[in-house]
Amino acid sequence: MNYTHMQKAFLKKHETVPRKELTELFNAEFGTQQTYEAIKGKCKVLGLRTGRDGCFKKGQIPPNKGTKGLTGANKTSFKQGNTPHNVKEVGSITEHVDKNGYTYLRIKIAEPNKWQMLHAYIWEQEHGKIPKSHCVIFKDRDTENMSLDNLMLVSRSELARLNQKYAAIDPSLREVALQVVKIQSAVIKKEGVIHDTNRI
């Protein structure tokens, strides 16, 4: 989902609201059906914090005070064959925030817990398995634009050169830049073959 400026402002305004409650407020305000995970992930991307650090403040009473000895070990909460209520079904889609702060969508493709980036899954459904040492990227850099026309397959080495030489290029020219990179790679490879032949 592409968040509008108004939706982002709403999240910032309610930054300290617990994420479960914030999800309900957000959906009620904008008529959406965003999940708790989606709102939590977006808040993280925006750098929003609830203000709670998980530590007890002076004078705060722990919720389990006075219960010592009243409960035993939690050995039978999940019996064999039972599925926890929070387990996602195959086909479920969630947001994933990587270490650089970029948000991607993931889809669960198999049990018990096998996931794949949604854009890669969509590309494979149309073109087949992604070749080794290759990846699928977004032409316009919008990680929520899953249109097949916006996805392109590149080798890892091509992606490295693309990011190195054309990182700041206009997104509309990114595919052209990739073709330039491919031509340069072909020239370098051919020159290498010629040089090796000359050594013989």
Q: What is the pLDDT of residues 107-148, one digit of tens each?
A: 998 888 889 989 999 999 999 999 999 999 988 888 888 888
The domain locations on the chain are: 1-50
Task: Please list the ranges in the chain whose pLDDT falls under 70.
Answer: 51-86, 192-200
Query: What pLDDT, on a 0 to 100 scale, did the predictor assign at position 200?
Result: 40
Query: What pLDDT, on a 0 to 100 scale, did the predictor assign at position 198?
Result: 46
Which residue has 């030489």 as its token pair?
A: 165
Query: What pLDDT, on a 0 to 100 scale, did the predictor assign at position 197?
Result: 42
**Which phi and psi (to 5°) does residue 42 adopt?**
-65, -40
Query: What pLDDT, on a 0 to 100 scale, did the predictor assign at position 55?
Result: 54
Q: What is the pTM of this model?
A: 0.49
Question: Do strands 103-110 and 114-117 pair parallel, antiparallel, or not at all (unpaired)?
Answer: antiparallel
Cβ count near 131 (within 10 Å): 10
